[in-house]
Amino acid sequence: MAKKGKFKAWQTISRKVLYKHPAHSYFLDQIYLPDGRKHEYVHAKLIPGVLIVALNSKKEVCLISQYRYVHKRKLLELPGGGVETKQGVLFHAKKELLEETGLVAKKWSKLGLCHSMPSHTNSLIHIYLAEGTKRQGPGSDMFIEGISRMRFVPLKKAVSMVQNGKITHATTVVGILLAALKMRAV
C-alpha cells in the first residue's frame, strides 16, 4: 500500500519540440515522476475547440458522419472545430456549425467544457447548445472535412446511440449527455 503524504507534482527536466504548428504542437519531455524516477512523456498542445449540439424545432439533434483518418472509418459526431483566432469561442461555434452543416441557430447557450484526452493533450472543448436551427445553405466545408452525411435524430435516440456504442466520439458523447440532461431527455 502506498504511503499517504503530500502530493508531489511531476517535474520537467527538459523539453524537446517534435513538431510545431499554429494549431497543434508535439513535445517530448524528460520528467521526474513523484517517486523520483525519470520518465519520457510525449504530449500535445492544441488550440481550444468547440462542439455544437444543434437542435431543430422538433428537438432533434444534428449528427454528422465524418471520416477520421486515424481510425480509417467514419464516426458519428456533433459538428465542431478549432478556435483559431481571437474572435471568441461563440463566434467559432457559429462558424463551425454553418461551415460543417449549413445550419444557423436562433438561440445559443453554453453547456460546459470537456478535456477530451487529458493524459496526452491540453485539449479543452467548449460545448454549446444551438436551438432553433434552420438551413441557410450547404455546408461549405463538408467535402474538405470528410463529412459525408448530416442527419437529425431525436435527442433521446442519440442518448440510446451513445449507450449502445453507435456514437463513440468522446466529446460528442459528453455533448449529447449534457444536452439531454438540460432538456430533460433522459
For 116-170, write each residue's pLDDT tens digit. Answer: 899 999 999 999 999 999 999 888 877 777 788 899 999 999 999 999 999 999 9
Interval 50-83: pLDDT, tens: 999 999 999 999 999 988 888 999 989 999 999 9
Q: Give the separation between CA 125 and CA 63, rounded to whole angstroms.
A: 17
pLDDT value of position 142: 76
* pLDDT of amino acid 149: 87
Query: Where does the pLDDT of residue 1 fall: very low under 50, low under 70, confident under 90, or very high at 90 and above?
Result: very low
Q: Name the residue among 31, 114, 105 with its Cα closest to residue 61.
A: 105
Q: Would the pTM of this model clear 0.85, i.e. be above it?
A: yes
pLDDT value of residue 113: 97
Instruction: Find out whether 93 and 108 touch, Cβ atoms under 8 Å.
Output: yes
Which residue spans within 9-154 are E strands per DSSP? 11-20, 24-32, 38-46, 49-54, 60-68, 73-77, 80-82, 103-104, 107-115, 124-131, 134-135, 147-154
Q: Are 96 and 109 in contact (CB under 8 A)?
A: no
Say what percent of the chain tops pLDDT 70.
95
Answer whether residue 3 shows pLDDT above 60: no
pLDDT in tens, 91-122: 999 999 999 999 999 999 999 999 989 999 99
Q: Which residue segments constitute the domains of the chain, with CATH numbers given?
A: 11-46 (no CATH), 49-183 (3.90.79.10)
SS3 150: strand
